[in-house]
Amino acid sequence: MILVMGSFRLPAANFDKALPMMAKVIAATREEDGCILYAYSRDVADPEVIRVSEKWRDRAALDAHFKTAHMAAWAQERAELGLSDRDIRIFETDEGVAV
């Protein structure tokens, strides 16, 4: 299993403009084969930080995700939003243990 975790900064002034763009890429990604979880969330302590959480069946599914039209569109759209401090990492893991 592959986990993708990270964050990026989005100026608060651009949040409302970004919402429909993020909703579109989230909906399309959740339909992809191998996508188990794909979510963005606003940090409660710092509303300019967006947290990224993804869970994929395997690396092949994630690699295919990077090549989709909706990811290419999102890359173009986010360039206009002033995103910064992007730090997203890929982890290979097992199913984990419930706590």
pLDDT digits (tens, 9 = 90+) for 10-34: 999 999 999 999 999 999 999 999 9
Residue 66 identity (one-letter amino acid): F
- Cα separation, 56 vs 2, in Å, equals 5
Residue 79's pLDDT is 87
For residue 9, pLDDT over 90 is answered with yes
What is residue 5's predicted lDDT score, i.e. its pLDDT?
98
Q: Where are the domains of the chain?
A: 2-92
Question: Of 5, 7, 8, whose CA–CA distance to 55 is shortest?
Answer: 5
pTM of the model: 0.92
Describe the chain by its helix, strand, coil percentages, rounded to 5: 40, 35, 30
Looking at residue 33, what is its pLDDT? 98
Task: Classify 19 in phi/psi space as left (phi over 0), alpha (psi -120 to 50) or beta.
Answer: alpha
How do residues 44-98 score in pLDDT, each as one tens digit?
999 999 999 999 999 999 999 999 999 999 999 988 999 999 999 999 999 899 9
For the domain covering 2-92, report its CATH number.
3.30.70.100
